[in-house]
Structure 1
Amino acid sequence: MDLTVVAYVAYLLISVTLTVWVARTLSQNGRVFLSDVLQGNEKLADAVNHLLVVGFYLVNLGFVALYLKNSDGVADARELVEAISVKVGVVLLVLGVMHLGNVYVLNKFRRRGIMEREQRPPVPPQGWTATADKSVGPFGTPATGV
């Protein structure tokens, strides 16, 4: 078997395994964060969590597939390890950037939700102020019974 094919198989096994592990970890631990961002709406948090996981898989597995090709052949064991380490390292960087991007966007939503919750509602009117002219009622209407 050609060492380039061995490099492809090892790269795919490692990258797909890492992608699945990261997606599951983020999904399980991110649910609480999403629930807070979405102000306790558990059903919506689960739906958004599922959509984020699907998008995460599509982007990362698509990148793994596109990055599979090795323009140089692999001649020996040293080149095999180097090719796999470079490819897996790039996949890990992409996974990290995707994770940080998701956290950044969700944190923006969370901060906006916190600010909206902390705003006080306007104070309702407690009465009318007296007018100097007794012939004029509220809103400039003629006063009755004068």
Structure 2
Amino acid sequence: MVETAYALYLVITLAITIWVARTLSKNGEVFLTQCFGHDAQLARSTNHLLVVGFYLVNIGFITLTLSLGKEPTSYAETIRFLSAKIGLAVLVLGGMHFFNMGAIAHFGRKVNGWLNDGHPQAA
């Protein structure tokens, strides 16, 4: 039972991580291109770096949380175990997304300030 719960946790959270990373990468490039003053090469490069960082942080978090909590001994405990661990992983994914969006938007405004008048824009 415990091995199955751990395997399900890994499969589900890694699948969600891959899906979110691909979705953000695909749809985020347009946003990054706009933030970086239509510099497509900078947007693609930044997008790739963000995806790598996203994978590293989330896979690290997922594997670290394997050891947290009481191991399930029944089906009901397995469901609670999986829902708590998967829910926490999804919250971390969402938190990272909003942090990244805020940082990119802030950085993009600064880059656009440089591109528009050659001087840094006031924060």
Read off the aligned partner of 1:42 and give its amino acid letter: A
CA distance in 2, matches of 1:46, 1:60: 21
Q: Distance in 2 between matches of 1:34 and 1:51?
A: 12
2:41 alignment counterpart: 43
Secondary structure at the aligned position of 1:74 is classed as: coil
Higher helix proportion, which one?
Answer: 2
Name the CA distance, whole Å, in 1 between partners of 2:49 and 2:112: 23
Q: Relative contact order: is structure 1 or structure 2 higher (C-alpha 8 Å, sep ≥ 6)?
A: 2
Q: Residues 16-63 of structure 1, C-alpha deviation per residue, up to 9 Å, x if partnerless?
A: 000000000000010011111111111111111001000000000000
CA pair 118-48 structure 1, distance change in 2 beyond 3 A: closer
Per the alignment, residue 27 of structure 2 pairs with: 29
For residues 125-140 of structure 1, the aligned pairs below 5 Å read: none
> How many Å separate the matches in 1 of 2:12 and 2:109?
36
Partner residue in 2 for 1:9: 7
- What is the RMSD computed on CA atoms of the aligned residues? 1.8
Distance in 1, Cα, partners of 2:68 & 2:46: 36
Q: Give the gaps of 5 or more residues in structure 2.
A: none
CA distance in 1, matches of 2:15, 2:71: 24
**Offset from partner CA, 1:49-87 (integer Å, 9 cap, x none):** 001000000000000000012442211100000000000
Percentage of pairs with the same residue: 41
Unaligned runs of 5+ in 1: 122-146
Shift, 1:109, TM fit? 1.7
Work out the CA distance in 1 between the residues paired with 2:118 and 2:67.
Answer: 57
State how far apart, in whole Å, the 1-side matches of 2:58 and 2:68 are: 18
Structure 2 vs 1, CA of residues 77 and 120 (structure 1 numbering), >3 Å: closer, same or farther?
closer
Larger radius of gyration: 1
d(CA) in 1 for partners of 2:32, 2:118: 24
TM-score, normalised to structure 1, is 0.75
1:1-146, aligned counterparts within 5 Å? 3-116=1-114
- Report the CA distance shift for 1:14/1:120 in structure 2 as closer, same or farther (over 3 A): closer
